[in-house]
Amino acid sequence: MKIFFNKSFVAWYFVFPVAFIHLFVIGIPSLASLALCLTDWRGLGEINYIGFENFIELFDDRYLKKAIINNVIWTIAFLTVPVGIALTCAYLLTGIKRGQMFFRLAFFFPYMLASVINCQIWKYLFHPIHGLGGFFERIGWEFLAVSPFTTKSTSLFAVAFVDGWHFWGFLVVIYLTGMYQVDNHLYEAADIEGATKFQKFRYITLPMIRPVFVFSIMIIIIWSVPVFDYVYILTGGGPAYSSEVIANYMYSQAFERFDVGYSSAIGTLMFFYVMIIVAMFGLFRRAGWDI
Amino acid sequence: MIVAKYRRREVISNYIILIIFALIAILPLAVLLFNSIKPQMEFGVNPLGPPSEIRFENFSEAWVKGEYAKVFFNSLKLVVGSVFLCLAVSLAAGFSLAKLNPKGSAIIAVYLLVGISIPAQLYIVPLFLLWKEIHLLNTHIGLVIIYTALNAPFATFLIRSYMIRLPDELFEAARLDGANTFQLFFKVALPLSWPVILTAGLIIALAVWNEFLFALTFISEEGFKPMATILFAFQWRFENNYALQSASAIMMVAPVAILFMLFQRRFISGLTSGGLKG
């Protein structure tokens, strides 16, 4: 069958359109960026090769340092809170019979909404006069009546909270698909042995859903790198760079300062980081981790 | 399925925790819905609760002030254009990767897999300059091409994993009847693939409807902006008019909500399909 079809070059015609469009939009510009990061180009005029100067500048850039630290905090926050909540909810969902579908839809629906919508909702809810701020003020909890988006110590977490609120339902569904594949006999055996709910979770559910779990960890790490929408819309990286992330910083370098070489260098850094993560998980799989 | 016999007390505590989280997910949306039909006057005294009088005029007012007829049309053009172009190229590629397996096509698969994980920040600046050079900035066709490239790898793999399960015998029989490869694609593969076409189409449509970064970067002229970036501008233009803001947001959510009600399973399985394949 396969040899039968292979005779013809026609098969390639079917792949060309995708390959062409993807190369044109993503492949070639990516390569251009990998080259431009070694230049001082500003979008117009001469292109001068300056070696690794951009990268030397990168490592001295304290705003970028702040942004990288924030991205790390963001990643850790997403690896803990949404994952914990989603695991709990998915596990509890497998233990009920009625209303499963309702809960699943309720958890998942925010994931379908645009970033602009989610940001608008929470901007309003966290508004110091309207929203919850006004509510807390009326009941006398004035310390909660400030917008967490405009407070330096909370802005990053507030933005991460909004993104997490929209994202965790996705994790619930992913974990559920894993949990449904667990053999019920294991739980029955554990019941006979008198295992508690937590023990069953720890010693049966968690090991059995490991492939799905590791996958979720991987995409959280990868997706935490280019976070942009929520930061740009809610705080723009402020106040005083307290919620700055790499993607937002890169965007301002590129489209406000038009420093093509420098922003390409930031993009290159992000690209290599993501590729290392992908390669690492690929190696784990090769090494027989069964993920 | 887990049908372990839970004690009654345990089941009740399960429900209580789940209901709390369901409320956290749903209540903010309810507030948005309430605000969209609340008179602007009422926001001072009743910021979170349901409105005392229902005022649908918020929608017509927002529709007129935000010129949403045009904005909707812009978004619709982007969605329809991207869905068609992306499905066309992805169906062809998915078919080839699933059933034809030309020598070396693994390279294409690996390239697309890497392509999925390249952060947009790597290529967005050169792409912007390229688009400026060939006069695709501030055009819908320019954005449609970008959205096609962004969504094609995912759609290709989704379609490939579906078509790979179509029985080979069908294709062999058609081949024996004298069908060429194009006929195999149009007459055999496509008619059998409508479920995955629908799923992929819905996911692409959702992604394009919600997309923010590229719409922000590549469309700066007001008249061409889609829903997402207009809504962002609207939040600044009518900063304190929450009735108008919420009504506009509901207008953007409504199509998504309706489609989600109709095709829940498709959306969920499509959006999480990466999780199953690993």
Domain that holds residue A68: 60-286
Burial class (CB in 10 A: 0-12, 13-18, 19+), B5: exposed
Note the pLDDT of residue A238: 78
Q: Is residue B154 within 8 Å of residue A18, measured between CB atoms?
A: no
pLDDT exceeds cutoff 50 at A9: yes
Q: What is the 3-state secondary structure (H, E, C) of chain A?
A: CHHHHHCCCHHHHHHHHHHHHHHHHHHHHHHHHHHHCCECCCCCCCCCECCCHHHHHHHHCHHHHHHHHHHHHHHHHHHHHHHHHHHHHHHHHHCCCCCHHHHHHHHHHHHHCCHHHHHHHHHHHCCCCCHHHHHHHHCCCHHHCCCHHHCCCCHHHHHHHHHHHHHHHHHHHHHHHHHHCCCHHHHHHHHHHCCCHHHHHHHHHHHHCHHHHHHHHHHHHHHCCCCCHHHHHHCCCCCCCCCCCHHHHHHHHHHCCCCHHHHHHHHHHHHHHHHHHHHHHHHHHHCCCCC
The dihedral of CA A220, A223, A229, A235: what is its sign? positive
The shortest C-alpha distance from B223 to chain A (Å) reads 19
Chain B neighbors of A180, CB-CB under 8 A: 1-2
**In terms of Cα–Cα distance, which of B197, B195, B173 is closest to B184?**
B173
* pLDDT 10s digits, A117-137: 999 999 888 887 777 777 777
Name the residue facing A17 among B89, B118, B123 (closest C-beta): B89
pLDDT exceeds cutoff 80 at B21: yes
User: What pTM value is reported for the model?
Assistant: 0.90
Note the pLDDT of residue B128: 93
**In terms of Cα–Cα distance, which of A170, A184, A181, A190 is closest to A210?**
A181
Considering the domain boundaries, does residue A97 fall inside one?
A: yes
Q: At what angle do helices A115-125 and B242-262 cross, to 10 degrees?
A: 130
Note the pLDDT of residue B74: 93
Name the residue facing A33 among B31, B88, B126 (closest C-beta): B126
Chain A neighbors of B97, CB-CB under 8 A: 15
Name the residue facing B152 among A18, A103, A271 (closest C-beta): A18
Residue of chain A minimizing CA distance to B116? A26
pLDDT exceeds cutoff 70 at A5: no
**In terms of Cα–Cα distance, which of A33, A45, A39 is closest to B127?**
A33
Note the pLDDT of residue A8: 60
Residue B48 and residue A131: Cβ atoms within 8 Å? yes
pLDDT exceeds cutoff 50 at B277: no
Highest CATH level, class, for B67-237:
mainly alpha
Note the pLDDT of residue B3: 46
Domain count, chain A: 1
Is A10 near chain B, with CB under 8 Å? yes
Burial class (CB in 10 A: 0-12, 13-18, 19+), A217: middle
The shortest C-alpha distance from B275 to chain A (Å) reads 6
Higher per-residue pLDDT: A288 or A171: A171
Higher per-residue pLDDT: B209 or B13: B209
Q: What single-letter DSSP state applies at residue B185?
A: I
**Region for A45 from its dihedrals, namely left if φ exceeds 0, alpha if ψ lies in -120 to 50, beta otherwise:** left
Rounded Cα distance between B17 and A180, Å, is: 20
Q: What is the DSSP code string of B17-51?
A: HHHHHHHHHHHHHHHHHHHHTS-GGGGGT-SSS--
* pLDDT 10s digits, B138-193: 999 999 999 999 999 999 999 999 999 999 888 889 989 888 888 889 988 999 99
* pLDDT 10s digits, A10-62: 888 889 999 999 999 999 999 999 988 888 888 777 777 887 888 888 888 88
pLDDT exceeds cutoff 60 at A290: no
Domain of A225: which CATH number? 1.10.3720.10
**In terms of Cα–Cα distance, which of A164, A172, A158 is closest to A243?**
A158
Residue B125 and residue A254: Cβ atoms within 8 Å? yes
Is A266 near chain B, with CB under 8 Å? yes
Report the b/e string of B51-89 with b at 16+ CB within 10 A.
beeebeebbebbbeebebeebbebbebbbebbbebbbeb
Rounded Cα distance between B124 and A31, Å, is: 12
Q: Is residue A216 within 8 Å of residue A170, measured between CB atoms?
A: no
* pLDDT 10s digits, B213-258: 999 999 988 889 999 988 888 887 777 788 888 888 999 999 999 9
Rounded Cα distance between B262 and A291, Å, is: 34
User: Which residue has 């006929």 as its token pair?
Assistant: B183
Q: Is residue A120 within 8 Å of residue B36, measured between CB atoms?
A: no
Considering the domain boundaries, does residue A77 fall inside one?
A: yes
The domain ranges of chain B are 8-59, 67-237
Name the residue facing A106 among B26, B217, B276 (closest C-beta): B26
* pLDDT 10s digits, A162-179: 999 999 999 999 899 888
The shortest C-alpha distance from A147 to chain B (Å) reads 15
Token code pair at residue A222: 């990868």
Is A189 near chain B, with CB under 8 Å? no
Chain B neighbors of A96, CB-CB under 8 A: 11, 14-15, 18
Q: What single-letter DSSP state applies at residue B223?
A: G
